[in-house]
Amino acid sequence: MVALEKVVADRNRVYDHPNKTLFRGYALPDLHLFLTSGRSAMYTICWLTIKPLWLNLATNRVGEGGKCSPYPEPQDWRAFLADLCGKMGLEVVSSGSQSRKNASESKEAQEARHGREKRWKTKDDTNRVDKFELDTSLYTSPSDIFWRGKLLLTKDALRNNQFTVRNSVSKEIIWELFNQNFALELLALDRVIFPRDSMTDEEAMEGDAKVSACFPDGILVGMAFPTVDQGLGALRWRDRIEYVEAFRLLLSTWKGEMVSEGVALQLGGLALVESTATEQRVEALEMVAYAFYCQTFFDHFGRAPCIPCRLPRD
C-alpha cells in the first residue's frame, strides 16, 4: 500500500505506446465489483460459473500480429456478468434509487431514455465481443457452483434465488482475484517493455519464465486455491524471500523510454537475496522494488496496479 501511495498519478506521465488501450482493463473481473456492488453475490456466482474456461482464455489472449487482445474494462465486466445472470435465469435486482428515479419519469422521458440505453447497449455489446471471445450460449440455466472442490450452491438453490455466499468464501475469491490480476498485469507490463512479437519463440518463453518465477511453483495463474501463505504477498517475510529475489531480477532487466533505468540498475546491482537475508534487508528491497513497479505500471497503463495480498485467515 505504501508503494501505491507514492505513485505520481500524473496523466502526462502515461506513455503513449501501442498497447496502452489493450491493457487498461482487467484480465480477470474487476475485484471492486465484489467489494462495493449490491449484486456481489450474483457476480460471484457468474464468475465461478465461467472461471475454468475464462482462465484458459485469459492466459492465452493473442490478437493480430501476436499482440495481446484488449482486456475488458470494469464496465465491460459489470455488463457481461449481469447479462450472464439474465441468460441463466437468475434475478438481477435493481437498486432502489434507480427504481425511484425511473418511477418519477414521464412516459415520454422513459421512452427516450430506453432508446438511448438501447443504442448505447448495442454499441457496447459490439465492442465487448472482441474483448471476451467467450461463447455463453451453453449457460442457459444455473448449475451447481463449487469452490475449492466443495459444493457451494446447488442449481436448485440458485433457481430459488438463494445466492448467499459465506463471508470466508468471499474473502478467498477476492484474494484470488487480487493475486491473479497482479500476476497477469505483471506479465502484461513485461510484454509491453519487451514485446514478444519481436522475439524468437525461445526468447519469448524465457521472458515469460522470468515472470512466472515470481510466483510459487512457477505457476502464474493456477486453478487450485493455495493452502500455504507464500509468495510476494505472504504475511511472513521468510515466505517471501525466494519470490522477492525473482521479482528483483525481473525488474532489474527493465529498460525503455518510460522506465526509470536508474532504479532498475540499482536493483540489478544489489547482492542476491538468499535464505540467510535479514528481515530488514528483504523489506528494504521490497520498498524499492514495489515503488518502481507501481510507478512503471501507472506510466504505461494510466491506472493503479493490482497488488499481491496475504492469504486470508478464517
Nine cell digits for residue 61: 489472449
Strand runs labelled E in the chain? 145-147, 150-153
pLDDT value of residue 62 = 55
Claim: this prediction has a pTM higher than 0.85 = no
Q: How many CB atoms neighbour CB 184 within 10 A? A: 24
pLDDT at site 228: 93
Q: At what angle do helices 40-58 and 74-87 cross, to 10 degrees?
A: 110
The alpha carbon of residue 10 and the mean position of all alpha carbons in its chain are separated, in whole angstroms, by 22
- Going residue by residue through the chain, which has 314 residues, state the pLDDT in tens, using 9 for 90 and above: 688 888 998 888 888 877 776 667 888 998 888 887 678 888 899 999 999 888 887 776 655 444 556 788 888 999 999 899 989 988 755 444 444 444 455 666 666 555 544 444 444 555 565 678 788 888 889 999 999 999 999 999 999 988 888 999 999 999 999 999 999 999 989 988 998 888 999 999 999 999 999 999 999 998 889 999 999 999 999 999 999 999 999 999 999 887 899 999 999 998 888 888 999 999 999 999 999 999 999 999 888 899 999 999 86
29: how many CB neighbours lie within 10 A of its CB? 25
245: left (phi over 0), alpha (psi -120 to 50) or beta: alpha
From the DSSP assignment, how many helices (H) and strands (E) are in the chain?
A: 12, 2
DSSP state of 122: H
Residue 209: per-residue pLDDT: 96
Which three cell numbers mark 76?
A: 465491460
What is the full DSSP assignment across 259-286?
S-HHHHHHHHTSPP--TT--HHHHHHHH
Q: What is the pLDDT of residue 295?
A: 95
What is the DSSP track for 161-198?
T-----HHHHHHHHHHHHHHHHHHHHHHHHHHHS-GGG
What integer pLDDT is reported at residue 288 of this predicted model?
95
Q: Is the Cβ–Cβ distance between 18 and 308 less than 8 Å?
A: no
